[in-house]
């Protein structure tokens, strides 16, 4: 199900793709009215119960008055907006593993190291003893723990 922010972003794209005033109006009405609609997704079509209480089946066509007449329809516009919205990649700021590890609290860092230690590697205690002469992660400084966690991630 699309949220209103995704529909708004899709509407901006859709408006640039048409010069037809009727479709632009249908897009605008879909954006304005859709928050109060009940939309049910099915395979190949959606059902829209609009403000009037009527339910419309929308695939490539709509059974509302405008849709039956082959005119621009807010229900068809909404369906197209959901299709466009599904193609828009969310712009989530990329967080590097180093930034993530740097922000991780000490206790969580120790838990992550133990959980992320590969089963195919020698036991963590053996490796820690060989490299640091200590097998208990609780005795390591935070910067060493972060270095160990980053080494496992790579």
Please check whether residue 43 lies inside any domain of the structure.
Answer: yes
pLDDT of 144 above 90:
yes
Burial class (CB in 10 A: 0-12, 13-18, 19+), 106: middle
pTM equals 0.58
Q: What number is the average pLDDT over the span 3-10?
A: 90
Tally of structural domains, the chain? 2
Q: Which domain range does residue 78 map to?
A: 4-87
Say yes or no: 9 and 81 in one domain.
yes
Query: For 91, how many CA atoms within 13 A lie in the half-sphere containing its CB?
Result: 3
Same-domain status, 62 and 129: no
pLDDT, position 91: 55
36 and 77 in a common domain? yes
Give the domain-ending residue among 38, 68, 87.
Answer: 87
d(CA 51, CA 58): 16
Instruction: Give the pLDDT confidence score for residue 126 in this predicted structure.
Output: 93
pLDDT tens string 69-119: 989 999 999 999 999 998 886 655 667 888 888 889 999 999 999 988 988
pLDDT at 87: 87
pLDDT exceeds 60 at position 66:
yes
* pLDDT tens-place string over residues 20-65: 999 999 999 999 999 999 999 999 899 999 888 999 999 989 999 9
Tell me which of 87, 113, 144 is where a domain ends. Answer: 87
What pLDDT, on a 0 to 100 scale, did the predictor assign at position 92? 54
Residues 6+ apart with CB under 8 A from 109: 101, 142, 145, 146, 149
């Amino acid at each position: 199900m699309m949220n209103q922010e995704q529909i708004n972003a899709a509407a901006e794209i859709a408006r640039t793709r048409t010069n037809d005033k009727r479709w632009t109006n249908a897009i605008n009405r879909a954006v304005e009215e859709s928050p109060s609609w009940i939309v049910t997704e099915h395979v190949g079509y959606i059902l829209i119960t609009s403000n009037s209480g009527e339910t419309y089946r929308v695939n490539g066509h709509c059974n509302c008055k405008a849709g039956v007449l082959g005119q621009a329809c807010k229900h068809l516009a909404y369906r197209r907006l959901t299709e466009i919205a599904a193609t828009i990649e969310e712009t989530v700021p990329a967080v590097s593993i180093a930034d993530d590890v740097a922000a991780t609290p000490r206790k969580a860092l120790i838990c992550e190291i133990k959980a992320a230690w590969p089963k195919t590697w020698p036991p963590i205690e053996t490796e820690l003893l060989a490299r640091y002469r200590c097998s208990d992660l609780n005795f390591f400084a935070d910067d060493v723990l972060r270095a160990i966690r980053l080494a496992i991630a790579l």
